[in-house]
């Protein structure tokens, strides 16, 4: 698990496990004969997915931000089998400990959005079977738009929101609803996209003349970089198409780095544009991106 110092921020890769999702749903209208060359499916048509989060430690404010926290441990055996949840690969608490952090050190949880694979680690069932908060000192940051969506989802999206995830956040007294393009502090802001789900916020770190963006579900893997390769899970695929084109144009011309939440093979990518088409430059890790880059 890698680490990068950039300006006043220290960035840490937090691996929280692996799981699998249906490849057809992950690639929408793209035929399997194409996407299976990029990411091979298992005998149940599922592809491997990372749950890679990002810890941002700030020298300016002393705050410790965790972006998303994985699927958590609240699934029963049936759902663990459906999604092939693998915490042997890695888990949230061990990943934090590897970098010298405890859950109590986290001051802020930035949720890109509240689908179950992004916020399930917020709580866990204690020995008495009660829901307990993993991060007792953290403020929970969600966009106001997405909070409304999570609490009143459409019939197509409702299966992505679990009451055992959303309820404790609502009742915590630590929920902070933010607006679009929120500034957490100098150098740490967000970029809002609405194609996958309304009000998804992508953290953006700008320092040392570089831009790092947490990709979340704008494009969950490097294979999703080409414009038409859009998830069937996206609520508004035309919006995703437009958002991707705008962001990838900026990223290719300005040399942005994308931290990949769900790509099981690629931790960081950059974007190249050739003859009007976008493609990822892969093989990068967070720890490789020192100031000499």
Closest CA to 139 of 112, 99, 169: 169
pLDDT, one tens digit per residue, over 177-210 is: 999 989 999 999 999 999 999 999 999 999 999 9
Average pLDDT over residues 132-155: 98
Mean pLDDT, rounded, of the chain:
96
Residue 147 lies in a domain: yes
Element (H, E) at 243: helix 237-254
Q: What is the per-residue pLDDT for 291?
A: 56
Q: How many domains does the chain have?
A: 1
Residue 293 lies in a domain: no
Confidence of residue 2 (pLDDT cuts 50, 70, 90): confident
Confidence of residue 283 (pLDDT cuts 50, 70, 90): confident
51-74: b (≥16 Cβ within 10 Å) or e: bbbbbbbbeeeebbbbbbbbbbbb
Residue 170 lies in a domain: yes
| Contact in structure between 260 and 222 (CB atoms under 8 Å) | yes
Residue 253 lies in a domain: yes
Question: Does the pLDDT at position 1 exceed 80?
Answer: no
Question: Does the pLDDT at position 272 exceed 90?
Answer: yes
Confidence of residue 112 (pLDDT cuts 50, 70, 90): very high
Residue 237 lies in a domain: yes
Average pLDDT over residues 107-120: 98
Element (H, E) at 148: helix 144-151
Q: What is the per-residue pLDDT for 153?
A: 97
| Contact in structure between 53 and 93 (CB atoms under 8 Å) | no
pLDDT, one tens digit per residue, over 36-78 is: 999 999 999 999 999 999 999 999 999 999 999 999 999 999 9
Q: What is the pTM of this model?
A: 0.96
Average pLDDT over residues 245-265: 98
Question: Does the pLDDT at position 293 exceed 70?
Answer: no
Question: Does the pLDDT at position 128 exceed 80?
Answer: yes
Residue 56 lies in a domain: yes
Residue 127 lies in a domain: yes
Domain that holds residue 65: 3-288
Element (H, E) at 224: none
Place of tokens 């197509």: 156
CATH code of the domain covering residue 224: 3.60.15.10
Strand order in the sheet with 9-22: 3-6, 9-22, 46-58, 64-67, 108-110, 139-143, 175-178
Which of the residue ranges 136-140, 183-187, 281-285, 289-293 would you say has the lowest mean pLDDT? 289-293
């Amino acid at each position: 698990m890698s680490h990068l110092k950039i300006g006043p921020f220290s960035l840490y890769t937090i691996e929280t496990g692996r799981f699998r999702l249906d490849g057809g749903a992950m690639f929408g209208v793209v035929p399997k004969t194409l996407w299976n060359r990029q990411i091979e499916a298992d005998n149940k048509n599922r592809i491997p997915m990372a749950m890679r989060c990002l810890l941002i430690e700030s020298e300016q404010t002393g705050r410790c931000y965790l972006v998303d926290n994985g699927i958590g441990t609240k699934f029963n055996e049936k759902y663990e089998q459906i999604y092939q949840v693998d915490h042997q690969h890695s888990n949230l608490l061990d990943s934090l400990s590897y970098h010298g952090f405890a859950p109590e050190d986290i001051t802020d949880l930035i949720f890109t959005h509240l689908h179950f694979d992004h916020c399930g680690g917020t709580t866990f069932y204690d020995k008495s079977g009660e829901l307990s908060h993993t991060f007792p000192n953290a403020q929970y940051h969600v966009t106001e738009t997405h909070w409304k969506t999570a609490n009143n989802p459409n019939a197509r999206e409702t299966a992505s929101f679990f009451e055992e995830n959303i309820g404790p956040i609502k009742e915590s007294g630590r929920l902070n609803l933010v607006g679009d393009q929120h500034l957490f502090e100098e150098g740490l802001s967000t970029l809002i996209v609405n194609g996958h789900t309304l009000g998804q916020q992508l953290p953006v770190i700008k320092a040392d003349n570089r831009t790092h963006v947490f990709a979340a579900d704008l494009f969950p893997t490097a294979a999703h970089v080409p414009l038409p390769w859009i998830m069937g899970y996206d609520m508004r695929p035309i919006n995703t198409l437009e958002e991707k084109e705008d962001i990838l144009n900026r990223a290719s011309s300005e040399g942005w780095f994308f931290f990949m939440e769900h790509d099981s093979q690629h931790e960081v990518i950059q974007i190249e544009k050739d003859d009007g088409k976008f493609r990822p430059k892969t093989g990068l890790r967070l720890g490789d991106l020192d100031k000499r880059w």
